[in-house]
Structure 1
């Protein structure tokens, strides 16, 4: 049941139940599959972020497919969530960072992107759509239309105002503000999301398929665990891999300025954050268990696809950066992705390279929506999940980020000058305007590479052979074969300029690709593209 004080959504859901019971249900009638998308906030996979989620692994991964190479188009909340919703790279949806000025939930976003998100398309094709949790970082702010704004295409809207919290927050219940306090039994946000989701399942219409998106606050700061989990993982500490607490040699300026080795206070701080992050995830594990048990009890689990993923990764001490995201390395851009559903065999692991821009096309494909009617940059990985042997999959994706910065110097970092947005212990400043980069992440039969360029005065380049150097200690930009370097540079320029189907063209190491220094030609009659440098604007 919903926590007390949530009469608004209860009445709404009871009305849905009344409408449902008044509709004639034909026993055995086929229906499109249901879809559930569970989205965590800042959950890494490279540093053990899935470890606390024992139930989630048992209920989703063990019954379906784990994607071992799932990435985000941008390692920051608002650009990444915008990519999930639109199926587009940041250079096409134009959300650059977590600010209104960076287009996060802005009026321009609402006008040009929101009507065409994949949930809106699902709604237009007969799906009931349900949202609960964190939407976009600036949602509910006055400049974004306030909490009364409900994006098009949602049958039921239960969204958090602004950024992740666990207590003392306000929710938009179908456009009406509902404040919450700090009483655990009534207000702990992860549990509130679980309860309202269960009520939706109880009272929704039974003659229409449904889509649910549940976006938890965990494990985002302030890392407030439920009372029963506050003493969990007390002996845990951040992984001490080979890239922990070491100087970022041959890396871009922002990494090179980090104090290395870190002080004891910084290490204690990040270890404490690491433990608390895991503690908050235990409530997410409970949410998943409750939701799937309810789907099973209602006889709907076998006709439901369940996706579990995160909006970006996270780091805790790598290259002497205590905590944050935003960086181009595996720990920040790689995320968990687990899926179970009709036609997916249990206990599968795939190495196919997928990105969060693929979630929308995949879910629309599941719903039978004609993907030719969209202009999404992503691709449906439904054929991969159902073991279609005829599918030819991509070998590379784009990762892009524009530094957020600030308008004034941070007084705690006087040597770094203007453009520093925030600092953690010992002044390891995580972002600045010149932290603007674009990368090609390539996974092919013979290559596992990352190529990145910075949009700064240096035009700094970082290249990593992930097979030989999984912790990305050695930048091989000056030693890699020049032809490969040139090919990756041209591929990056093409991806930075792509839109819709042109983002689906073969990658550098795909057999269908043929390289020329002046033009990039695509075999099988595909259109050629003149190359030109394009950065995020």
Structure 2
């Protein structure tokens, strides 16, 4: 059952009045944070929208769960919508995760398992013809006007022509504003609909703000036509070097990286972290500085979300627009004796925010069902009134958004990570091999994480009793249970298509 099959009138009882919807931009820890966040918006009964919903997707880079507390507009979005607490990415690495989102497929089916080179990156994605069928081509074909702004896939550069006469724009996008290695957020270039535009180092050139302004303009101009639209805003922040907007550079003095139970502690019974040295004093100081920069850098993202929601209200389309906020992967900072990075199967790296608000979506709700980024493409198709694309491995999450949970849902999902980022040219390069996990396939359910490494070692973390994943208890499992888990992981790691992957996701709990 879906929004399309039920029809909006049957689903929409509550909607959002978004005029003035921007939450108090004062983040926790700032001088004015003692006062509570306020908002002029309120939940009110609204008529059901007559048309298919518009979609605003905000995808950020390397955002971990512990940064949401510094984002009042994201917290306001949570109040107005549904938050998925067990949302995971298919791979805690940028390009494989983003390819999975575009295609609705696991990395073993996209073939993108790394950020660049012979088994990953934009050049491989393009050469395999993957861009001919994405959620963008789905919705453009269904009559949506589409726009992409920001970071696309690793290796993409604004000036690439890919055999054409003009800088390359992938199929499916009516408006295109994409950068290359624009992580510093200043002194970058954008491919703006086939024209290269250079930006400098002035405060008004800060990339997240530039993207916010362009996205707002797209929303306003498209809403005036009455055509449904999809816009993806894909920021480079808070990825390293964690550059904040100049106006935010002095926020959170003294803020430190969270000292969780996993801080500077290798899990008991660990496999690849056994014998790893503790963090040095210099590393801890650097982690604190980096975390402070990350908290500063997400302020511009948060303001952008408030700005986009205000634009939707001013354009008169807030009550028929779905706003979605998520990240391509998470990030660890000192947990498990690891300096800043990703690529592991720990929740710090794979369990990221997914917040959805809009018509037919229950406000103020947390949903515990296991969902993954392979589910977003079929969800967008569902909203557009399309059947799920046949090549996808995921399933639409629309039945989970109205508050009435379906009778059946998957028990777990796959996380796979192969050929780790060990090339110095990779923006996610890890110079110390001790900080990089071996290749692995993992099964994550709502209660446990089971990991199989390429060398045959296994780890099992019971997250109900060990939420910080600091004790590997695989050695306590019976041979029969280990056999069930191995079979489940093999089934997921080789599944192709929604039916096979759905069946594999329900074999063990």
The match for 2:401 among 370, 380, 385 is 385
Paired position in structure 2 for 1:437: 440
1:161-185 superposed Cα distances (whole Å, 9 cap, x missing partner)? 1453311111111122212111111
Equivalent residue for 2:355?
A: 338
The structural deviation recorded for 1:218 is 1.3
Native 8 Å contact 1:110 1:151 kept in 2: no
Structure 2 residue aligned with 1:454: 453
Cα distance in 1 between the residues matched to 2:124 and 2:419: 22
Distance 1:86 1:479, change over 3 A: same
Contact 1:72 1:356 in 2 (8 A): yes
- Residues 257 and 219 from structure 1, CA distance in 2 versus in 1: closer, same or farther, beyond 3 angstroms? farther
Distance change in 2, residues 1:472/1:342 (3 Å): same
Name the counterpart of 1:198.
216
Mapping for residues 34-433 of structure 1, pairs under 5 Å: 34-45=54-65, 48-58=66-76, 60-140=77-157, 145=162, 148-162=167-181, 164-185=183-204, 187-204=205-222, 206-253=225-272, 255-256=273-274, 258-260=276-278, 262-371=279-388, 373-406=389-422, 422-423=430-431, 427=432, 429-431=434-436
C-alpha distance in 2, partners of 1:199/1:81? 25
**Is the CA contact 1:226–1:280 (under 8 Å) kept in the aligned structure 2?**
yes
1:410-465 Cα distance to aligned partner (Å, 9 max, x none): xxxxxxxxxx9533xxx57433xx7200001122xxxx111111113xx1111111
Q: Secondary structure at the match of 1:164?
A: coil
* Whole-Å separation in 2 of the counterparts to 1:367 and 1:356: 18
What corresponds to 1:528 in structure 2? none
**1:253-312 alpha-carbon deviations (Å, 9 max, x no partner):** 3x235321x111000001110010010000111100110001011110110000000000
User: Per the alignment, do residues 195 and 407 of structure 1 end up closer, same or farther by CA in structure 2, a change over 3 Å counting?
Assistant: closer
Q: Residues 222-264 of structure 1: CA distance to partner in whole angstroms, max 9, x if unpaired? A: 11111211111112111111111123443233x235321x111
Cα pair 1:105 1:144 within 8 Å, conserved: no
Tell whether the 8 Å contact from 2:238 to 2:294 is kept in structure 1 after alignment: yes
TM-fit CA distance, 1:110: 4.7
Residue 321 of structure 1: SS of its match in structure 2? coil
Question: What's the CA shift for 1:112?
Answer: 2.6
* CA distance in 2: counterparts of 1:136 and 1:100, whole angstroms: 13
Q: Distance in 2 between matches of 1:108 and 1:72?
A: 18
Assess if the C-alpha contact under 8 Å between 1:90 and 1:96 holds in 2.
Answer: yes
Native 8 Å contact 2:151 2:180 kept in 1: yes
State the alpha-carbon separation in 2 of the partners of residues 99 and 407 from structure 1. Answer: 9
Change over 3 Å in CA distance of 1:392–1:102 after alignment to 2:
same
3-state DSSP class of the match of 1:441?
strand
Point out which structure has higher relative CO (alpha carbons under 8 A, 6+ apart).
2
Distance 1:198 1:335 in 2: 25
1:508 maps onto 2:507 in alignment: yes
Q: Distance in 2 between matches of 1:93 and 1:391?
A: 30
Matched residue of 1:211: which SS?
strand
Q: Aligned pair in 2 of structure 1 residues 232, 370: CA closer, same or farther (>3 Å)?
A: same
- Which stretch has the larger CA shift, 143-152 or 386-395? 143-152
Task: Provide the C-alpha distance between the structure 2 equivalents of 1:173 and 1:288, rounded to a whole number of angstroms.
Answer: 22
Runs of 4+ in 1 over 4 A off after TM superposition: 141-144, 405-408
CA distance in 2, matches of 1:56, 1:104: 30
Which SS does the other structure have where 2:147 is aligned?
A: strand
C-alpha separation between the residues in 1 aligned to 2:94 and 2:198? 23
Query: Of the two, which has the highest radius of gyration?
Result: 1
Q: Do 2:267 and 2:469's aligned partners in 1 also have CA atoms closer than 8 Å?
A: no
Cα distance in 1 for partners of 2:470, 2:63 equals: 22
Distance in 1 (alpha carbons) for counterparts of 2:159 and 2:291 = 34
Give distance in 1, aligned partners of 2:74 and 2:429.
35
Which stretch shows the higher mean deviation, 228-237 or 187-196?
Answer: 228-237
Deviation string 1:321-370 (CA, Å, 9 cap, x unpaired) is: 11001011010000001000111121111111111111111111111111
Distance 2:496 2:81 in 1: 31
Q: In structure 2, what is the Cα distance between the partners aligned to 1:394 and 1:201?
A: 35
Task: Give the conservation status (yes or no) of the 8 Å contact 1:103–1:109.
Answer: no
CA distance in 1, matches of 2:218, 2:421: 40
CA deviations 1:86-128 (Å, max 9, x no partner) are 0000000011111132321115535431111111111011000
Aligned length: 454
Change (3 A) 1:56 1:192: same
Residues 38 and 345 (structure 1 numbering): CA distance in 2 closer, same or farther, change over 3 Å? same
Give the TM-score normalised by structure 1: 0.81
Partner of 2:52: 32
Say if 1:321 and 1:428, in contact at 8 Å, map to a contact too.
no
